[in-house]
């Protein structure tokens, strides 16, 4: 799914002109994860993300293989507005509010929280070369 992919390029998936949206056309999405509260899409890594109260499950959408089990990572407590993996999948960034993002290094287990200055808001998450966490 690169750029404007279509269902003919990747059966069952298509991307709108807005790269942060994915439409699952076929096969129908069936989720057997107990307690799934929402689904998000990580367009940088082409991952479909399923959130439960304490974990994030991810499935690769390109190339899609319905027989591959999702990978899973722990998730912090509280609300999740947005979530992204770094392109190398070593960092997980979770937008907790309009003012706070938490970044977790999966290799070291280190976590940092970043709050924006007053009267500012995060409009989304972009991870780019954060290798010194």
What digits encode the pLDDT tens for the residues 7-42? Answer: 334 444 444 444 445 566 666 666 777 888 888 888
31-115: what CATH class? mainly beta
Spell out the domain ranges in the chain.
31-115
Q: Residue 84 in contact with residue 125, Cβ under 8 Å?
A: yes
Residue 121 confidence (pLDDT): 56
> Cα angle at 87 between 47 and 55, to 5 degrees?
50
Is the pLDDT at 73 greater than 90? The verdict is yes
Note the pLDDT of residue 122.
Answer: 52
Q: Is the pTM of this model over 0.75?
A: no
Give the pLDDT confidence of 82-124 residue by residue, as tens digits: 899 999 999 999 988 888 889 999 999 999 988 876 665 555 5
* Number of Cβ atoms within 10 Å of the Cβ of 133: 15
Report the alpha-carbon distance of residue 113 to residue 64 in Å, rounded: 33
């Amino acid at each position: 799914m690169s750029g404007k992919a279509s269902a003919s390029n990747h059966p069952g998936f298509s991307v709108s002109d807005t790269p942060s949206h994915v439409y699952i056309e076929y096969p129908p999405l069936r989720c057997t994860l107990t307690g799934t509260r929402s689904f998000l899409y990580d367009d940088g890594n082409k991952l479909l993300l399923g959130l439960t109260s304490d974990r994030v499950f991810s499935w690769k959408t390109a190339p899609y293989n319905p027989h591959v089990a999702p990978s899973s990572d722990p998730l912090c407590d509280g609300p999740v507005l947005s979530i992204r993996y770094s392109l190398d999948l070593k960092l997980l960034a979770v937008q907790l509010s309009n003012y706070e993002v938490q970044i977790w290094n999966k290799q070291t287990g280190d976590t940092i929280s970043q709050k924006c200055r007053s009267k500012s808001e995060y409009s989304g998450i972009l991870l780019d070369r954060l290798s010194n966490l």
